[in-house]
């Protein structure tokens, strides 16, 4: 699956709820996971491959492999945030510190339509927040100040024109 890059309108759309839980959905989740791993990502949202539906996959780095979250929503969160570096497979080569909650509680459906409520902390909360943002048309650079965001857009466009990534060494924060 081809990853859509910053500037593609699908990344700014509000994704639709998933309503059908069939083999097609399972196949789609597995294709998303494969695309995520092929690109050294730790998370990938359906809109990032051009599908504006509420489906994300993440690898929470706990040895259990990838997991799918359908129609996920954050139902509670810590009042406090903390800063850490993030990247995004749709904005390759750009890494910046952004604030995220220390913990979040997520309500979501699994691939069979079963309802779950689960708490996530720190890096896991960060990755999931990042992916859930994608379902609302929000990108991690939106948390930066306007001046910084402009600078990044400029840097990103320049990199794309040269047809490559200025910063080839990826870090594990790509989502
Ligand atoms: Zn992303």
Whole-number average pLDDT of the chain: 93
The single residue listed with the structure tokens 């720190």 is 122
Domain ranges of the chain: 9-161
Residues near ligand 1 ion, CB 5 Å cutoff? 88, 175
pLDDT in tens, 83-128: 999 999 999 989 999 999 999 999 999 999 999 999 999 999 999 9
Give residue 20 CA to ligand 1 midpoint distance, Å. Answer: 25
| % of the chain surpassing 90 pLDDT | 85
Residue 164 has what pLDDT? 58
The verdict on whether 19 is a catalytic residue reads no
Fold classification of 9-161 is Peptide Deformylase (3.90.45)
Angle at 151 between CA 150 and CA 157, to 5 degrees: 90
Length of the chain equals 175
Which ranges in the chain belong to alpha helices (H)?
A: 23-38, 122-134, 146-161
Q: 41 CA to middle of ligand 1, Å?
A: 9
> How many angstroms separate the alpha carbon of residue 115 from the centre of ligand 1?
25
Distance from the alpha carbon of residue 15 to the mean position of ligand 1, in angstroms: 14
- The percent of residues in the chain predicted with pLDDT above 70, rounded, is 94
């Amino acid at each position: 699956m081809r990853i859509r890059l910053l500037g593609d309108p699908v990344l700014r759309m509000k994704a639709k709820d998933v309503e059908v839980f069939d083999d097609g959905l399972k196949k789609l989740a597995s294709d998303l996971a494969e695309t995520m791993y092929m690109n050294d990502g730790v998370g990938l949202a359906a809109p990032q491959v051009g599908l504006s539906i509420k489906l994300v996959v993440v690898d929470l780095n706990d040895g259990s492999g990838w997991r799918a979250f359908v129609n996920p929503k954050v139902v509670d969160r810590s009042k406090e945030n903390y800063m850490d570096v993030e990247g995004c497979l749709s904005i390759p080569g750009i890494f910046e510190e952004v604030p995220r909650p220390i913990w979040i509680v997520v309500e979501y459906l699994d691939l069979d339509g079963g309802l779950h409520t689960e708490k996530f902390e720190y890096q896991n909360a960060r990755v999931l927040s990042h992916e859930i943002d994608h379902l609302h048309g929000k990108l991690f650079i939106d948390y930066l100040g306007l001046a910084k965001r402009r600078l990044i857009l400029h840097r990103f466009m320049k990199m794309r024109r040269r047809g490559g990534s200025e910063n080839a060494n990826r870090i594990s924060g790509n989502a």
